[in-house]
Amino acid sequence: MFYAILRRFGQMLFVMFGISVIVFLIFFATPGADPAARIAGRNASPEVLEAVRHSFGFDRPLYVQYVTMMEKIFVTGDLTSFVNRGWKVVPAVMDSIPVTLSLVFGAAILWVVVSIVIGIVAAATRDSWLDKLLMALGLLGISMPVYWLGEVMNLITQSRYHDSWAFSWVPPLGYKNFSDDPKGWFLTLVIPWITLAILYIGIYGRVLRAAIIESLQEDFIRTARAKGLSETRILLRHALRTSLIAFVTLFGLDFGALVGGSALLTEVVFGLHGIGKLTYDALQNLDLPMIMATVMYASMFVVIANAVVDFVYILLDPRLRTS
């Protein structure tokens, strides 16, 4: 077990190394483009260009450039964005991380809990009006684009009905630090959480329902019935447990991507300056150091999320333990 974890950890490092090399090559070694000019930004003076060239080691071999870049991101943390006039990149990323993590973690808890309940109820009452209603609602949730839903939410909670009793508690848009104001942190995030979770509740509820119904056809379910177990126990202990594997796979992929910046639309709609927003702005300005840092950060979370999923697999499915 310990060895397996260690091996998985080594794989993670290797994947991240691969990603960093590829991203580095794309942005800094594309033939015909001068990375120094890119980093220095438009209308940079020859002195600035020279300083950039020297500071990033562009006058030296490629591997030295790569090592310099990694050192600036991970060791010294003094990677500087020239486009944004000397803005330090690493602290900017660090400031954005809690915003995105707060948003995605909260939404994830919400969507996992609600979709498991929906999946179980729909599977248990298969083909009834309740099942059909839940699945139709799920489809509706999947069909609503998150930016549109977010704006509608804002329209309702921030302007149209803000003064009614139902939404007067909703604070203005923006992010509040958990350490400064836990209550404010929670209240500002409630609407974004719901908005982001609705899409995933729809998807996960439907996936889980299908997986449970498939499990219920299995031979071991017949055995469980022959044992004289109650239907509830069969559903929860035998069918649900074996259905969670597909669910966890999906969750790892979605969670990693969201933490890595895919929550961009939600962040923009609700004025949250998270990783998605940061990456988007960096791409707009072609801010190479910032892009490098955010991509490294995003890949790290995708890789970590996948490793966590692999561990959860091992917990869920003993067949994977012996290898």
Binding site for other proteins (CB under 8 A): 218-220, 222-231, 233, 237-238, 241-242, 316-319, 322
Question: In three state form, how does the secondary structure of 282-310 look?
Answer: HHHHCCHHHHHHHHHHHHHHHHHHHHHHH
When the beta carbons of 61 and 228 are compared against other proteins, the nearer one is 228
CB of 312 to other proteins, least distance (A): 13
When the beta carbons of 46 and 318 are compared against other proteins, the nearer one is 318
CB of 136 to other proteins, least distance (A): 22
When the beta carbons of 86 and 318 are compared against other proteins, the nearer one is 318
Instruction: Give the C-alpha separation, 178 to 193, whole Å.
Output: 15
CB of 208 to other proteins, least distance (A): 16
Asked whether 17 and 70 are in contact (CB, 8 A), the reply is no
CB of 5 to other proteins, least distance (A): 20
Instruction: Give the C-alpha separation, 32 to 16, whole Å.
Output: 27
Instruction: Give the C-alpha separation, 17 to 22, whole Å.
Output: 9
CB of 122 to other proteins, least distance (A): 17
Q: How far lies 246's CA from each of 141, 214, 241, 253, 304, in Å? A: 20, 12, 11, 11, 18
CB of 127 to other proteins, least distance (A): 9
Instruction: Give the C-alpha separation, 150 to 170, whole Å.
Output: 14
- Label residues 77-115 b or e (16+ Cβ within 10 Å = b): eebbbbbbeeeebbebbeebeebbebbbebbbebbbebb
CB of 215 to other proteins, least distance (A): 10
Which two structure tokens, joined as six digits, stand for 242?
A: 């074996």
When the beta carbons of 243 and 262 are compared against other proteins, the nearer one is 243
Instruction: Give the C-alpha separation, 110 to 143, whole Å.
Output: 19
CB of 242 to other proteins, least distance (A): 6
Nearest to 122 by CA among 209, 201, 236, 204: 209
Residue with tokens 């035998």: 238
When the beta carbons of 7 and 237 are compared against other proteins, the nearer one is 237
CB of 316 to other proteins, least distance (A): 7
Instruction: Give the C-alpha separation, 315 to 313, whole Å.
Output: 5
When the beta carbons of 54 and 227 are compared against other proteins, the nearer one is 227
When the beta carbons of 164 and 230 are compared against other proteins, the nearer one is 230
Residue with tokens 């691969």: 18
When the beta carbons of 177 and 230 are compared against other proteins, the nearer one is 230
Neighbours of 181 (CB within 10 A): 13
When the beta carbons of 39 and 224 are compared against other proteins, the nearer one is 224
217 alpha carbon, distance to own chain's centre? 34
